[in-house]
């Protein structure tokens, strides 16, 4: 196993093999670590991508509603609910789902779910907190965009408020929160450690917890490295998508 070597020698040996995709074999079951990681990653990425889709849709809907109702009592109620939902952790929603929806109401199953239902409950646990955090930010950004001189110029030219909102203000407001949103997806990836334990999903979170419990360094090292790579890729994707949207969307209301 090479554990008789000093720490810096162990690290150099591990790194020299890791760059070639060789992360060794598990100390517990002697399985190839890379194959185990890829199998677990497939479960985790499905949860995160599914959560991201629902989060994006809900952020746009709730953010638009917050903007429309910003000067009404209903708008203050929505904002208060958003602040309340931010404080509810995903693992609490996961445990309450199993306790209330599955056990007490008999809807769904604790184990044995197949297809999308294997990932949907876990994905939905991330949605309320993320949507509640970004929806007010989106509403604030929309309010700012609608108060610009370019928006007033568009009104003078006879453009409707609806067209100004959805054609110009909304894309500009979304661009400003894209980097933070992708960083939140990366945090969800790390938060899946607990959620996968609750739902017994054999993803990266389940894998790293098992590696820590079983004291399996090859699995721990590979999983942490994969999580770090995913975090970097999410950040890079945010910059790429923001540039694409900025390039392909004419956000200037003056020249349209």
61-89 confidence digits (pLDDT tens): 998 888 888 888 888 888 888 888 888 88
How many angstroms separate the first and last alpha carbons of the chain?
67
Cα three-residue angle 174-175-179, rounded to 5 degrees: 105
Per-residue pLDDT reduced to its tens digit, 210-235 = 888 888 888 888 888 888 888 888 88
Asked whether residue 7 is assigned to any structural domain, the reply reads: no
Q: Examine the pLDDT at 254 and tell me if it is beyond 50.
A: no
Average pLDDT over residues 88-94: 87
Find tokens 């909304």 and name the residue.
Answer: 170
**CA 108 – CA 93 distance, rounded (Å):** 15
Domain count, the chain: 1
Asked whether residue 125 is assigned to any structural domain, the reply reads: yes
Asked whether residue 212 is assigned to any structural domain, the reply reads: yes
Domain span at 53: 27-248
Find tokens 């109702």 and name the residue.
Answer: 69
- Per-residue pLDDT at 111: 62
Dihedral angle at the C-alpha atoms of 162, 168, 169, 170, nearest 10 degrees? 80
Residue 32's SS3 state is: strand
Asked whether residue 68 is assigned to any structural domain, the reply reads: yes
Query: Which residues are CB-neighbours of 173 under 8 A, at least 6 positions away?
Result: 63, 138, 141, 142, 144, 145
Q: Which sign, positive or negative, has the C-alpha torsion 152, 154, 156, 159?
A: negative
Instruction: Report residue 241's pLDDT band, with 50, 70 and 90 as the boundaries.
Output: confident
Dihedral angle at the C-alpha atoms of 90, 95, 96, 98, nearest 10 degrees? 130
Asked whether residue 256 is assigned to any structural domain, the reply reads: no
pTM: 0.79
Q: Examine the pLDDT at 250 and tell me if it is beyond 60.
A: no
CATH number, position 44: 1.10.3720.10
Asked whether residue 2 is assigned to any structural domain, the reply reads: no
Q: Which spans in the chain are helix H?
A: 7-18, 33-68, 73-86, 90-96, 120-124, 127-146, 149-156, 161-163, 170-199, 204-214, 217-248
Buried b (16+ CB within 10 A) or exposed e, 115-129: eeebbbbbbbbbbbb
Find tokens 């809807």 and name the residue.
Answer: 107
Per-residue pLDDT reduced to its tens digit, 118-137 = 788 888 889 998 899 999 99
Of 189, 66, 69, nearest in space to 134 by CA: 66
Q: Examine the pLDDT at 256 and tell me if it is beyond 70.
A: no
Q: Which sign, positive or negative, has the C-alpha torsion 105, 111, 117, 123?
A: positive
Asked whether residue 1 is assigned to any structural domain, the reply reads: no
Asked whether residue 104 is assigned to any structural domain, the reply reads: yes
């Amino acid at each position: 196993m090479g554990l008789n070597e000093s720490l810096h020698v162990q690290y150099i040996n591990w790194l020299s093999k890791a760059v070639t995709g060789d992360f060794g074999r598990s100390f517990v079951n002697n399985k190839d670590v890379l194959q185990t990681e890829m199998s677990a990653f497939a479960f985790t990425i499905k949860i995160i991508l599914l959560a991201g889709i629902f989060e994006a849709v809900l952020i746009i809907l709730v953010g638009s509603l917050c903007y429309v109702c910003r000067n009404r009592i209903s708008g203050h109620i929505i904002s208060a609910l958003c602040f309340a939902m931010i404080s509810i952790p995903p693992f609490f929603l996961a445990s309450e789902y199993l306790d209330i929806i599955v056990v007490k109401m008999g809807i769904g199953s604790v184990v044995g779910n197949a297809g999308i239902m294997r990932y949907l409950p876990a994905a939905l646990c991330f949605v309320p907190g993320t949507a509640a955090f970004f929806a007010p930010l989106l509403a604030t950004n929309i309010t700012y965009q609608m108060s610009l001189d370019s928006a007033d110029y568009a009104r003078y030219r006879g453009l409707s408020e609806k067209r100004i909102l959805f054609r110009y203000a909304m894309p500009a407001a979304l661009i400003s929160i894209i980097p933070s949103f992708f960083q939140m997806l990366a945090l969800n990836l790390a938060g899946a450690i607990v959620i996968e334990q609750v739902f017994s999903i054999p993803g990266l979170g389940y894998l790293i917890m098992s590696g820590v419990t079983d004291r399996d360094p090859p699995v721990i090292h590979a999983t942490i490295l994969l999580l770090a790579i995913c975090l970097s890729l999410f950040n890079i994707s945010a910059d790429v998508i923001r540039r694409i949207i900025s390039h392909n969307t004419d956000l200037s209301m003056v020249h349209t």
